Amino acid sequence: MADLALYTYQEEVVQRALRGENIIIWLPTGGGKTRAAVYVAKRHLETTQKAKVVVLVNKVHLVEQHYNKEFMPHLGSKYDLVAVSGVSEEKDFFGKVVQDSDVVICTAQILYNALTNQEESKHVELSDITLLIIDECHHTNKDSVYNKVMGCYVEKKLKGEGPLPQILGLTASPGTGGAKILDKAVDHVLQICANLDSAIVSTKLYAPELKEKVPRPIKTFDIVEKRPEDPFGDHLKWMMQLIHDYMNLPPDFRLRECGTQEYEADVVILEQRGVREDNRLLAQCALHLRQYNDALLINDTLRMMDAYHSLFEFYATTTEIDGTDLFLTGLFNENEVELRKLAGTPLYENPKMSKLESTLLKQFDPSVKSRGILFSKTRKSTRCLHDWVLNNKDLQKAGIKAAVLTGAGNGISYMTQSEQADTIRNFRKGTLNLLISTSVAEEGLDIPECNLVVRYGLLTNEIAQQQASGRARARDSQYSVVAQKGGREVRRELINEHLEELTGKAIAKIQDMSLHEFRRKITQLQTEAVCCRKIAESRKIQRRSRNTADSISLLCRNCFKHVASGSDIKLVDGVHYVNVNPDFKRHCRFGGQVMIDKTFEDWEPGRIICCNNGGCNKDWGFEMKYKKVALLPNLAIKNFALETPDGRTTVKKWKDVTFTVEDFSFEEYCNDNFPDLFD
């Protein structure tokens, strides 16, 4: 078993946990929170009868990381450990896995599913667990799955039901929850403590040692002047104005400045209004304006040619149904050559790119072993930056070997989990020395010490800023913010510095409370939270009962054609919303095979499903083959409009529909579709 020595500051923060108390360990990124948790788990296993430790993480890739890097090396020789995630077969008999193991490391969703699933092989009770470790526990709020798990815990605690596991939370920062003043920040941190039924602890006596072991990087603002001229951006704005004039904007609706996040929010609302009012012209113009606004945002952050390509790719897949589509595609086609010409003019290129280049070149040199992370906002921007690095001769001469790191998921713009793991492994080995990453690398990932962290075109909260900054752990490392003079990124960074300080003050104020006062406040917040959850659940049931399923029509969100009834929709395994009406297939066009980087117990993906109405081709979802027999259209409700007795509406998720979706019956499906076999 590997040596499990702690630094003195770590020994200080685990003391109350070793006494069996519920605590949150607050240490900065790189401060060794996970190592402290392993130490607590080891002592718990040694001193507790029938001990059962469950470690919860909020991202799939952290399951294997915690298992391989921390828990297995220190506990594996004496105890049975198992790692379970959505890609593991063990999830299908999770109750048995918990029963037979000493330590289980899993995603929070796996445990929550087990708490609510009554099937014997899958079910778990909180009383089966003696120590529950929650990684990145600042996510235990609102409707997060962490908070759903802890909601079960708190309800049992208030009812006096037990036994309940000891709780150990880990966080680099609970944040202020958006609060700007101390009292509100205290309220937010207290709520996190109440949700976790835990006190928050940090090092007091050995803070100098922590500062020595986890040095803060040198922060710099690499500021650039505003572009003197931007004819490419000006041309996009002129085209947007033509669309504004064509769409006849409602008199009660004002669009804010284009090229901003606020404008994007406005056109999203405008598209929804167009759908509700059966005004396809308004809805389509709003959708296209969002693409132009995306191009402006890209132009502000990346190369002009990246912005041009984003529009070109959109219009390459845009179909034409009526005069609105003809106008919008015609406008782009008429201006495409001019846009390409302006985008290819070096004189007008984005000055932020040259500043980013100089920032990277200060740290990277073929004779120096440097490692860095370049944080950007979107998956698209990381791919554009990667292309820029690969095609920049000076950056290549400096020995930069870059790769993209984004969140795992299904779809062409996502990475698979194996691709993520390979990228991180190559970064650790030194085969790569620059990760171009979305926020996925800010939190939790075991990434080696970096001497450069760059935040580029990002507006985030104080938690994300601290976590990103904590990635620069090497001595004399640099944390750079590349931004335009007077831009929002600089203002946001300065606000986040204030909020980071405010978080520390809020925690100190809570730690100074008497035990009686702290427990009183926590119990009050927990009681209120349980009441709020019950009211919210009651309202959700009421909302789902507002209409009958057969009174609802589903319309394609693009062409507005009626394609299904609400009564055609059934719920498979509590997760998948499928259309069981055989006639639905005549509305469908089928595309290529969907590829998903994992296997499932009862189903596998089939082909992409699109709208077959004329030239619509709106993406609706994909086929799923259930139990190797039933081929079912699995639909995303965001791709449809709902015609209800109260009018037309749109929802993002199935949980927000106003009718009850009945469970899918495999037996009924077989009887209806294979009647000759079941007479």
pLDDT along the chain (679 residues), means of 10: 83 98 95 96 97 94 90 96 87 92 97 91 94 97 96 97 96 92 97 98 95 85 91 98 94 94 96 96 97 96 96 94 96 98 95 95 88 90 96 96 83 73 88 90 68 82 58 69 85 87 96 97 98 93 93 97 97 95 95 84 93 93 94 97 96 95 92 73
Sign of CA dihedral 267, 272, 276, 280: positive
Q: Residue 118: its pLDDT value, please?
A: 84
DSSP string covering 88-130:
-GGGGGHHHHHHH-SEEEEEHHHHHHHHH---TTT---GGG-S
The confidence score (pLDDT) of residue 466 equals: 64
How many CB atoms neighbour CB 352 within 10 A?
A: 23
Distance, CA of 634 to CA of 605 (rounded, Å)? 9
pLDDT of res. 477: 81
